[in-house]
Structure 1
């Protein structure tokens, strides 16, 4: 099967997946305080990353490229990004390195978003020279390296040897002069993984937890004989991945994605320690089931809702969200206890900041 056919399969199955109630939504709850003390008009949603200033704390994460349908997706998404000022990542650019046939499905992103912050995207097993080609193709400001061992194992034509992935990433870190973000593809990250990446000099990590587009399910549907092993349940959720990261004193800058389908998912991820949040499947469905104009309107609606949520939580900035009080479900606490993660540090953070003295 050609790469283009595989990319078309990915889009078709991703669009068919229904959004589920995620761990972010069911297992993470803010403590309500009746006097938040913040006006909506005073909320600043901006973040500073990669030596750039971004007006919003979320971005369009990597999805696709390398086929006719991919061109349509990236054309529409990049129009949304250009109109709203969102940063945007391309999908895996392996197809562009292997053939010139569908390079326009990537190039359209920079054409539509000439002044935007763009991220190229490759797997870990590419050389520095190949990575430079991918970066140059869209004049990217940064490179995402996706790690997807689970997806590869379920994919009929996927990789089966992960021996050199970490050393390959290390060579890319040493050989490139743009920021590098290492991201999972919806299976989450442990603190051990994050520590390994920190040790080789990776400065940005997207934990990309379980709960969004399920690539194990997508690849299983592409198989002639379905796996008996339930790889669709494999992985670590986004909040658990962020708790894993929170247990480390030295770590890369943490980004989050995986199951982000509402503004409040963004807020919870930021409150759990992410510096910015990637959204993919939700925007894919929006631009392909409605249109560019309606998706732009939804982005603006997200911006308004984020400001309202920040104000209700007493936060004027993203940093202020890290002083909000969070209660976790028994499922989260059970994992955290067994992994010795600092879940207790989240439930009285406002008290610590404002130095309440109880009678």
Structure 2
């Protein structure tokens, strides 16, 4: 089972590399038209894009979202390059699922990133459904300790598990077990989908268990359903049928509006540039996650990742300037900046 989990990590990367359509490129944020200030009354050089998240200062609200981890040189190179770039640029980083390291100890080193990123936000990551398959609070603590993490993502992926040939599909009772993990850790649990969106009912269920951080992770970006399709050998096209299933990220953010005064939202799923980030913040997100734009650069070098981060930062700050927003707090949940939603 452990070897299978490790091999699956590489199969996922290869599927993304070989099939550009795993990125659904929904461009749902393009339907949102923002105002434009021809007289912004700001000096572009003085705009403050920095935020505080989990007690650490970030240069702007970017999270390099969960991608991978395991016992393979490619995986180690990707995570090392991401961590060093995140530290250099002052952005957050979440690792891929750490389940593999509990069955294959050699995979552990791919998640030991704190020494490479001593000052920025790092998030550990485990699939919530594994709480129904023997995963314990001790292992959750170990996952956090391994990364040196500021928080633990418990990711929700029922569609991926349903399509995956060897998927774990018993989600019954997971909500209460998520609460037990939240209460047993010294760092916060963050609840995250993986590309189908969190509904208001999902947020309500997590909130009732003490969760205060929610990554809506909507559709429009990487389709794990389509990725798992490439791993099936039974002729089924179920992964293709469901490749666009779910709530687009802007819709998920709007649905989560009632929770803004009580919880912290993270936007991911289909964000591709700094303009999408600005729109996410306007819709209430405190942090914005991207993964696909960083995968290829991360397989190359730290400098390649830094180049993408700096491009996105320029785009984000330029959008703030053109909106007349001097800082992120002024822009967050400022729905008056939306002129039209097509």
TM-score above 0.5: yes
Task: State whether structure 2 residue 55 is matched by structure 1 residue 51.
Answer: yes
**How many aligned residue pairs are there?**
328
- 2:316 corresponds to which residue? 306
Specify the structure having the higher radius of gyration (Cα): 1
* Map of 2:337 onto structure 1: 325
- Counterpart of 1:257 in structure 2 is 268
The equivalent residue for 2:127 is 123
Judge which range, 58-67 or 111-120, deviates more: 111-120
* Cα displacement (A) at 1:329: 4.1
**Aligned partner of residue 65 in structure 1, secondary structure:** coil
Is residue 2:28 matched to residue 1:28? no
| Whole-angstrom CA distance in 1 between matches of 2:70 and 2:57 | 30
Asked whether 1:295 is paired with 2:296, we answer no
Question: How far off is 1:328 after superposition?
Answer: 4.8
Q: What displacement does 1:257 show? A: 0.6
Q: Which segments of 5 or more consecutive residues in structure 2 lack a partner in the other structure?
A: none
CA RMSD of aligned residues (A): 1.8
Q: Aligned residue for 2:13?
A: 11
For 1:149 and 1:235, the matched residues in 2 are separated by 11
* 1:24–1:265 CA contact under 8 A, matched in 2: no
CA shift, 1:17, in A, is 4.4
2:89 to 60, 84, 90: 84
In 2, the alpha carbon distance for the partners of 1:142 and 1:217 equals: 29
Check 1:16–1:80 CA distance in 2 against 1; reply closer, same or farther (3 A cut): farther
Please name the residue that 2:149 is paired with.
Answer: 140
The 2-side partners of 1:314 and 1:17 are apart by: 40
Please give the alpha-carbon distance, in whole angstroms, between the structure 2 residues aligned to 1:20 and 1:36: 35
State the Cα deviation string for residues 103-128 of structure 1 (Å, max 9, x = none): 11112x22322333211100111321
Secondary structure in 2 aligned to 1:239? helix
- 1:313 deviates by 0.4
**Cα deviation, residue 327, structure 1:** 4.2
Cα deviation, residue 220, structure 1:
1.1
Contact map agreement 1:7 1:67 (CA 8 A) in 2: no
Structure 1 stretches of 5 or more lacking a match? 331-359
Q: Does 1:275 align with 2:280?
A: no
* Equivalent position SS for 2:196: coil
Which of 173, 178, 191 is equivalent to 2:187? 178
Matched residue SS, 2:256:
helix
Shift of residue 172, structure 1, vs aligned partner:
0.6
Cα–Cα, structure 1 residues 136 and 270, in superposed 2: closer, same or farther, change >3 Å?
A: same
CA displacement at 1:208 relative to structure 2: 0.5
Structure 2 counterpart SS, 1:110: coil
Match of 2:244 among 233, 237, 240: 233
SS in 1 for 2:211: coil
Indicate yes or no: 2:75 matched with 1:70: yes
Tell me, yes or no, if the aligned pair for 1:24 and 1:238 is still in contact at 8 Å. yes
Cα 1:81/1:247, change in 2 over 3 Å: same
Q: Quick one: which of 95, 100, 114 aligns to 1:95?
A: 100
Counterpart in the other structure of 1:200:
209
Counterpart CA distance in 2 for 1:101 and 1:294 is 27
Q: Which digits, 9 at most, give the CA deviation of each residue in 1:173-209, with x for residues without a partner?
A: 1111102111100111111111111111101000011
